[in-house]
């Protein structure tokens, strides 16, 4: 299994400031920010011949949304970004020069005084992957999910009132000739680039604030029929949510197509729902929580027999906008659901074909009251 995330030690950043907090005691003990839907800053990233040849900022949260940071706070960042290989032969969908090689993609989660990539930013997390272009093991879409945490202290890379959290992406291959592109999002046969498949989130908590951790590894389904229907694979109940509560969510599954012998698209999304079987947010949820209850973007990849079992990792943040009550007026529980959809790729429909979900799946929710 190819690792999705690599974390770097930040010992130099974890220096807590213990003075001056009393004057700011009226500020919130926990708060959150997100770029939200349709937040990609670029549609493509150039593929260069050399590593880190042309890094581009594709997501950013600026000082306006991070203005609540204080000395001593713990800042947690999480992000998903979907990159997609361009076409392998000339056709209308091409965003750049066609190519048949497998580009290497480097994505980093950074914090600094500017939105632009640069030496003044601290790299909190970085991941490197090869996005397979060649048939029959063509992944096409390559989602990346990662997270990191840092304390606001004397060696913080930016002033707490003027910080930018960013996701920076670069791509390279020694076979690049110039003009080749990686797509941020997905491309349609017409050439239109579809986005809303990436997001950047932040949670900051005051010293001494700890979230309640809920975890489940109980699969609701161990396999999925290969059809584009949304099915709940993991679900975690959360009780007594109140206005202002912040939830940090992460989930991971592995899909297996080796018994199929062909590729299958696996797409996933984290949502807030009223029940453990619900595959979309209800009206109550849309009124009560951020971003209509959509914790993460819907994105995915083509799982191939060559790379199977294929990992899917999801991360996201949600904030409660109002107390959650049912029709009787009593507090209503909500459910954090991992919804998955899948379908066959490059083959005719095979009746009864199923995608296997391995047993090492998990869903983790941390509730900050």
Q: Residue 189 burial by CB count (10 A; 0-12/13-18/19+): exposed, middle or buried?
A: exposed
DSSP conformational letter for 214: E
What CATH number does the domain located at 1-209 have?
2.60.120.760
The two structure tokens encoding residue 278: 């619900």
* E strand or H helix that includes residue 30: strand 30-34
The two structure tokens encoding residue 192: 């239109």
Please determine, for residue 285, whether its predicted confidence score (pLDDT) is greater than 50: yes
Q: How confident is the model at residue 30 (pLDDT cuts 50, 70, 90)?
A: very high
What's the CATH architecture for 211-369? Answer: Sandwich (2.60)
> What sign has the CA pseudo-torsion 265, 170, 52, 90?
positive
> What sign has the CA pseudo-torsion 92, 95, 97, 101?
negative
| Nearest of 17, 329, 41, 78 to residue 193 by alpha carbon | 41
* E strand or H helix that includes residue 284: helix 283-288
The domain spans of the chain are 1-209, 211-369
d(CA 82, CA 94): 17
Which contacts (CB < 8 Å, 24+ apart) does range 186-189 have? 186/82, 186/84, 186/141, 187/84, 187/86, 187/87, 187/93, 187/95, 188/93, 189/91, 189/92, 189/93
| Nearest of 308, 320, 235 to residue 270 by alpha carbon | 235
| Of 270 and 2, more confident | 270
Please determine, for residue 74, whether its predicted confidence score (pLDDT) is greater than 70: yes
pTM of the model: 0.89
* The pLDDT value given to residue 15: 33
pLDDT in tens, 318-341: 999 999 887 777 888 999 999 999
For the chain, what is the mean pLDDT? 89
| Nearest of 113, 41, 123, 42 to residue 77 by alpha carbon | 123
Q: Do domains 1-209 and 211-369 have the same CATH topology?
A: yes
Cβ atoms within 10 Å of 43's Cβ, excluding its own: 16
Q: How confident is the model at residue 39 (pLDDT cuts 50, 70, 90)?
A: very high
> What is the per-residue burial (b if ≥16 Cβ within 10 Å, else e) of 132-148?
bbeeeebbbbbbbbbbb
């Amino acid at each position: 299994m190819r690792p999705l995330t690599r974390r770097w030690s930040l010992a130099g950043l974890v220096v807590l400031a213990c003075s001056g907090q009393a004057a700011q005691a009226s500020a919130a003990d926990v708060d959150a920010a997100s770029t939200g839907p349709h937040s990609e800053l670029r549609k493509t990233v150039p593929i260069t011949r050399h590593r880190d040849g042309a890094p581009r900022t594709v997501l950013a949260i600026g000082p306006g949304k991070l203005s609540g940071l204080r000395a001593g706070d713990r800042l947690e960042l999480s992000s998903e970004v979907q990159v997609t290989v361009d076409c392998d032969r000339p056709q209308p969908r091409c965003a750049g020069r066609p190519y048949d090689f497998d580009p290497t993609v480097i994505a980093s989660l950074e914090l600094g005084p500017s939105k632009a990539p640069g030496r003044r930013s601290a790299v909190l997390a970085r991941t490197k992957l090869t996005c397979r272009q060649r048939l029959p093991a063509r992944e096409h879409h390559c989602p990346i999910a990662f997270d990191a945490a840092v304390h606001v202290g004397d060696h913080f890379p930016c002033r707490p009132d003027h910080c930018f959290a960013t996701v920076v992406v670069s791509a390279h291959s020694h076979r690049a000739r110039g003009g080749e592109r990686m797509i941020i999002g997905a491309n349609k046969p017409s050439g239109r680039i579809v986005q809303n498949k990436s997001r950047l989130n932040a949670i900051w908590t005051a010293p001494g604030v700890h979230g309640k951790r809920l975890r489940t590894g109980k699969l609701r389904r161990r396999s999925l029929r290969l059809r584009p229907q949304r099915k709940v694979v993991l679900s975690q109940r959360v009780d007594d949510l109140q206005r202002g509560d912040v939830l940090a969510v992460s989930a991971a599954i592995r899909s297996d197509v080796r018994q199929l012998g062909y590729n299958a698209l696996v797409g996933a999304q984290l949502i807030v729902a009223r029940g453990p079987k619900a595959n979309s947010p209800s009206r109550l949820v849309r009124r009560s929580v951020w971003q209509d209850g959509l914790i993460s973007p819907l994105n995915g990849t083509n799982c191939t027999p060559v790379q199977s079992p294929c990992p899917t990792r999801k991360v996201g943040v949600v904030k409660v906008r109002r107390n959650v009550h049912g029709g009787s007026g009593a507090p209503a529980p909500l459910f954090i659901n991992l919804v998955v959809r899948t379908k066959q790729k490059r083959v005719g429909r095979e009746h009864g074909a199923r995608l296997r979900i391995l047993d090492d799946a998990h869903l983790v929710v941390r509730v900050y009251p």
